[in-house]
Amino acid sequence: MPTDSLSGIGVSAGVAAGPLLRIAAAPALPPPAPVTDAESEIARAFAALAEVVAELGRRADRAQESTVAEVLRAEALMADDEELRDAVREEIEGGTDAPHAIDAAFGTFREMFAEAGGYLAERVADLDDLRDRAVAVLLGLPMPGVPQPGHPYVLAARDLAPADTADLDPEYVLALVTEVGGPTSHTAILARALGLPAVVACRGVLDIPERTLIQVDGSTGEVGPGSSVLRAENRTSSEISGPGGTSDGHAVKLLANVGSVKNVPAADEAHAEGIGLFRTELLFLDRTSEPTKDEQVTAYRDVFRGMAGRRVVIRTLDAGADKPLPFLNQDGEPNPALGVRGLRVARQRPQVLTTQLEAIAQAAAECEADVWVMAPMVSTLAEASEFAAAVHEAGLPRAGVMIEVPAAALRAKDLLGVVDFLSIGTNDLSQYTFAADRMCGELADLLDPWQPALLQLIAICGAAGRESGKPVGVCGEAAADPGLAPVLAGLGISSLSMSPRALGAVRASLARYTYAECVRLAETAVAAPDAVSARKLVL
């Protein structure tokens, strides 16, 4: 470890320390070696395959989501295939060493699968992963992917792919540090959801030798030498509770963002008044086939059940760009963030939306939660109105849309003419307003939620909400910033939805101001020349 500290952008508060482990890269094949004893070379290759199968089995046993376990077991079956072993044997008997024989055997299957198309073609990435794992074992290298050392550690990576997140076990992972990524990337969102300190855009972190003890400060963004393993303290405030609002009683509902039923206990501990964003796609990130309606009903019902009598805003699938869903086969778009993502998928696959709405309706009918449904990535009045019609057709009473595209923010008043509520996704709204990729750490200043231009768009939505008497919330990461909460309230925002861990601080911050003060702060922030001044003038 360099004795000096590195710095990045702190995206999830808390301090933790532990030995650094990296997500190992796929191994490169060594130069071919002569085979002197074919039988022992075959035994070596088979042992590597067996280790891959065993390791996948161990991960499946540990997986908390049944769909993840199912995917891992399916992968294990592929590595345990008799025909695959026969192909490896044949290669080695022909004089090829074990790593190259494994590579060649998987290569043959890869070609066959790709040619077959459909479901088999979707398994090609799994075959590559299995080959990499077996080759890594043969070369004595760590298997690619999230390490599973069986002890606590700090995870370092270039960036985390959504699929990696399925393997993250918060029991063992103390903190996350990535070399790239921005404050609204999924690494950041996941870290906040799991309550893990995280630093992104930390250049040089991958040069730190494996197992060096490091300390990560997710508030300041500092990554420096550590002295012993330190777990981040649980920062959920259980002392401050009650409905959110200003000191003079102007209500601002404080809601939680969740990705599955696993996050519901944290929402309860933080005294969330309900759920303001249920990101349904997180349930399906690993899936290569469309989830069935029954599976969806179960997943949604699990969340609704825990929220009897409270609001649950469930979002329909937000696939594409930073959240690719393999079963939708969206590869090949030149510019995925501007492509067929979010509600736009319904243009190509309307049935996916219809099935999801039916599943939500069925789950809602079986529970006491107050279920509201919203669509991501809506840009026009026509999209909003068609979505509202589809929601009502499914028998669900409350339809809303997310405001993530400037065009929608500008037309908030019209949209509220056809839907029951709006929810502002500031992560995407920043991205599209500033033409700045939300995954790009270098552009973090443009993605700052205090940018007056972003606040101005939020003001348009807030004003439309006040005029129509319909709720307008914020569910992007801006809602988790305690300093910004009074500003958002003053702009007319009626609910803030965030990672449960942020709720206590946001609730306390709001309660320090009267509503009139919030309105004044909001005017000051919108009128500021830039984000830094806006923050300085308000805080």
Indicate which residues carry an active-site annotation: 186, 475
Contacts with 496 (C-beta within 8 Å, 6 or more apart), sequence order = 244, 252, 253, 254, 255, 276, 473, 474, 475, 479, 485, 488, 506
Cα dihedral: 535, 536, 537, 539 (round 10): 80
142 touches 149 (CB < 8 A): no
Rg of the chain on CA atoms, in Å: 25
- Per partner kind, with CB cut-offs from 5 to 8 A, the member of Mg ion, ligand PEP, none near residue 426 is ligand PEP
Total residues contacting ligand PEP by CB under 6 A comes to: 11
Query: How far is Cα 194 from Cα 443, in angstroms, rounded to an integer?
Result: 25
Residues 406-425 that bind ligand PEP (CB under 6 A): 425
DSSP annotation of 435: T
Q: For ligand PEP, give the closer residue by CB, 132 or 318.
A: 318
Task: Name which of ligand PEP, Mg ion, none residue 386 binds, using a CB cut-off of 5 to 8 Å depending on partner kind.
Answer: none
DSSP 202: -
Among residues 103, 286, 404, 448, which is the contact residue for ligand PEP, using CB under 6 A? 404
Name which of 11 and 79 has its Cβ closer to ligand PEP.
11
Cα atoms in the Cβ-side hemisphere of radius 13 Å centred on 299:
22
Beta-carbon count within 10 A of 382 CB: 10
**Which listed option, Mg ion, ligand PEP, none, makes contact with residue 290 (CB within 5 to 8 Å by class)?**
none
Cβ at position 424, least distance to ligand PEP in Å: 7
SS (H, E, C) 444-473: CCCCCCCCHHHHHHHHHHHHHHHHHCCCEE
State the nearest-atom distance from the C-beta of 245 to Mg ion, in Å. Answer: 27
Q: Work out how close the CB of 402 gets to Mg ion at its nearest, in angstroms, rounded to a whole number.
A: 7
Footprint (CB under 6 A) of ligand PEP, residues 460-479 = 475-476
Residue with the shortest CB distance to Mg ion: 428
- 315: three-class secondary structure by DSSP: strand
Does position 100 interact with ligand PEP (CB under 6 A)? The reply is no
Q: Which neighbouring-strand residues pair with 274? A: 311
Q: Which is nearer to ligand PEP, 134 or 506 (CB)?
A: 506
Q: What 8-state DSSP symbol labels residue 292?
A: P
Q: If DSSP codes are grouped into helix, strand and coil, which group holds residue 243?
A: coil
Q: Considering the complex, state which of residue 167 and residue 428 has its C-beta at the smaller distance from ligand PEP.
A: 428
Please give the residues from 420 up to 449 whose contact with ligand PEP meets the rule CB under 6 A. Answer: 425-428
When the beta carbons of 41 and 428 are compared against Mg ion, the nearer one is 428
Tokens found for residue 247: 């000191």
- Report d(CA 259, CA 279) in Å as an integer: 5
Q: Which of 186, 250, 215, 269 is nearest to 477 (CA)?
A: 186
Specify the residue, 18 or 425, whose C-beta has the smaller distance to Mg ion. 425
The entry of Mg ion, ligand PEP, none near residue 475 (CB within 5 to 8 angstroms by kind) is: ligand PEP
375 binds, options ligand PEP, Mg ion, none, Cβ within 5 to 8 A by partner type: none
- Looking at the Cβ atoms of 135 and 319, the one nearer to ligand PEP is 319
Interaction site with Mg ion (CB under 5 A): 404, 425, 428
Query: Shortest gap between Cβ of 515 and ligand PEP (angstroms)?
Result: 25
| Residue 2, helix vs strand vs coil | coil
Asked whether the beta carbons of 65 and 260 are under 8 A apart, the reply is yes
Q: Rule CB under 6 A: choose which of 279, 287, 310, 341 binds ligand PEP.
A: 279
Give, as ranges, the residues between 27 and 56 that touch ligand PEP (CB under 6 A): none
Chain residues binding ligand PEP by CB under 6 A are: 189, 277, 279, 318, 404, 425-428, 475-476
